[in-house]
Every structure is written in C-alpha cells, then in structure tokens.
C-alpha cells in the first residue's frame, strides 16, 4: 500500500477557518501504544486532542457511567500541541465529556483506536473502540474506528497508521452520511504485506464461549469467559474474508439498528392485539 500521507494531505486543509479538529479516543486506555500511533498519524492532518479512559476498557460495548462521578486528568502531551486527557470512565463517556467539558468547539472528526485486536464481524457489538466512534457519529461528527489484528503491545502499527491517515483524509474531504460511521480493521504485519483496502459488510460469525470453571480458595466456584471465534461467512465482501486475504476491511456501520427488511414480514406474520379494549 502506498503511503497516502503524502499524496493528498492538502484535502484536509479545505476548511477556511484553520485546521480541522480531530478527537482521538480508544478503549485500551490513554497509555496504550495504539492510541499514540493514531494520534501521531493524525498530527499531520489537523489539531489533535486525545481523550481516553484512564485504564483499559476493552469489551465495554456502549457502556456509560451513570452511577459514579467522572474524573478528568490531563496527562503528559503525546507531542507538540497534542493534549492528552484521561477519563475515569468508559470510551463513550470520553466522547461525551470531550464534547461537553474538554473541547470549546466540536471536533470535525472522531477517530477511535488503534485498537489492540480485531473488531471485525460481530466483535463490533462488544467493542468499546467502535462505541466511542458511534457516539461521535451520534453527535453528527464523521467517525471512524480503527483496529489492528494484533494484540501485542509491541505490534507494528505502521500499516494501520497509513490506513488511518488515508481514511481520515477521505472523511475530512467527503464527510460521511448522517447515521453512518466506519469500522476499519487492519491485517497484522508490516505495511508492505497489506494488499489494499476493501469496502465490506459485517461477516456472519459467532463467539463460541467456553467458560473455564475453577474454585476459589474459599471453595466458591467461579468462571472465566473464554471462547473461540467462529466465522460462518466466506463471502468476498465479508470483512473476515478481506482481512484473511490481506486487505484492510472498511464496514460502514449505522446506529439505526432497525431491521427494515424484517419489518414487513413480521407485520404480516405476527398478530397484534386490536386497539384498546379495557380489560
């Protein structure tokens, strides 16, 4: 994949009033290498502000903190002009706090990640990375979540950075339709091994859980959630397929969860009670 950082960087400068403002969030926490890699990649494109959980929040889905107060702490900058804020909450809390408390004007783009590990297929449901992006989209801001298929803290983020730079430029230039955000997953490995990018749909897959049962020192049984990912979908346009073939997968995701195709069939099959008759 060619380095997109140098061939269309000017598109990000279309705005008349200065550089675009890019909010960088994640779910692995403010100290994870992935978010630093993402902030670095964004630094050429605009004004970068990092707001991230103060501890890992993987698997938090679209959780919000409603029964505890939230603390915000400014950490050491990631580099010149890149402030970093740590929030004692979830990824979604970070986006909400950024908008209402930390930023004086809204972001032009929300990027989330780079997640340490895949958020392809149904992993999007559990993903704090994607929920943070979704929260940005809910606020009407173009939003993209990036995830690298490598859990290692020493992962090579260069390919993911190139993809992030390119797609952030496209988002700044073209925007995204209202209600749509992007779920971008990047194959593991060196940038040279990435074959390109592909528009995809969410693969039909499942986690097959295998709880690991143990007994604690007090004799109480407890369970660790484990499991293996099972893909059922070999379609060319499934994100799993693209990733397996060495492509970056890009799935447009919407936050309107209505199953429109199912509506008509259900209307015809299910019997609903007639209008009110007091019982």
Residues 200-259 that bind a second copy (CB under 8 A): 201-202, 204, 206, 209-211, 213-214, 216, 220-225, 246, 250-259
Q: Could you tell me if 241 and 203 are in contact, meaning their C-beta atoms sit under 8 angstroms apart? A: yes
Does 37 engage in binding with a second copy (CB under 8 A)?
A: no
Tokens for 218, please give them: 């007090």
Count of Cβ atoms closer than 10 Å to residue 70 Cβ: 16
Tokens for 166, please give them: 């390119």
Identify the residue among 48, 110, 155, 194 touching a second copy (CB under 8 A): 194
- What is the number of residues in the chain? 279
Identify the residue among 19, 31, 83, 126 touching a second copy (CB under 8 A): 126
Counting Cα atoms < 13 Å in the Cβ hemisphere of 111 gives 39
Pairing assessment for the beta strands 47-53 and 82-87 based on DSSP bridges: parallel
Does 118 engage in binding with a second copy (CB under 8 A)?
A: no
**Angle CA 105–108–109, to nearest 5:** 130
Q: Is 81 or 246 the residue whose CB approaches a second copy more closely? A: 246
Smallest separation, CB 91 to a second copy (Å): 10
Alpha-carbon Rg for the chain in angstroms: 20
Does 199 engage in binding with a second copy (CB under 8 A)?
A: yes
Does 101 engage in binding with a second copy (CB under 8 A)?
A: yes
Give the binding-site size for a second copy (rule: CB under 8 A).
Answer: 98
Q: Could you tell me if 231 and 121 are in contact, meaning their C-beta atoms sit under 8 angstroms apart? A: yes
Q: Which stretch binds a second copy (CB under 8 A): 38-46, 104-112, 119-127, 143-151?
A: 119-127
Smallest separation, CB 80 to a second copy (Å): 25
Does 275 engage in binding with a second copy (CB under 8 A)?
A: yes
Identify the residue among 152, 177, 235, 245 touching a second copy (CB under 8 A): 177
């Amino acid at each position: 994949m060619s380095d997109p950082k140098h061939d269309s960087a000017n598109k990000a400068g279309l705005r008349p009033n200065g550089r675009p403002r890019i909010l960088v969030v994640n779910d692995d926490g403010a100290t994870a290498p992935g978010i630093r890699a993402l902030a670095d990649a964004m630094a050429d494109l605009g004004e970068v502000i990092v707001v991230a959980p103060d501890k890992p929040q993987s698997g938090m889905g679209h959780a919000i903190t409603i029964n505890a107060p939230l603390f915000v702490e400014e950490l050491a900058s990631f580099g010149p002009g890149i402030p970093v804020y740590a929030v004692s909450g979830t990824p979604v809390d970070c986006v909400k706090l950024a908008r209402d408390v930390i930023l004086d004007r809204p972001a032009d783009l929300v990027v989330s990640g780079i997640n340490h590990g895949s958020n392809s297929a149904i992993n999007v449901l559990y993903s704090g990375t994607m929920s943070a992006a979704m929260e940005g989209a809910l606020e009407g801001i173009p939003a993209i979540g990036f995830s690298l298929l490598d859990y290692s803290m020493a992962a090579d983020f260069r390919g993911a950075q190139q993809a992030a730079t390119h797609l952030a430029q496209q988002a700044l230039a073209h925007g995204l339709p209202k209600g749509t955000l992007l779920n971008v997953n990047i194959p593991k490995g060196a940038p040279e091994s990435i074959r390109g990018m592909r528009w995809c749909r969410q693969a039909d897959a499942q986690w097959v859980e295998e709880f690991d049962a143990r007994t604690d020192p007090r004799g109480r049984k407890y369970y660790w959630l484990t499991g293996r990912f099972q893909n059922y979908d070999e379609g060319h346009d499934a994100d799993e397929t693209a990733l397996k073939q060495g492509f970056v997968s890009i799935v447009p995701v919407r936050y309107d969860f209505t199953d429109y195709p199912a509506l008509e069939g259900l209307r015809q099959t299910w019997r609903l009670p007639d209008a009110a008759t007091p019982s």
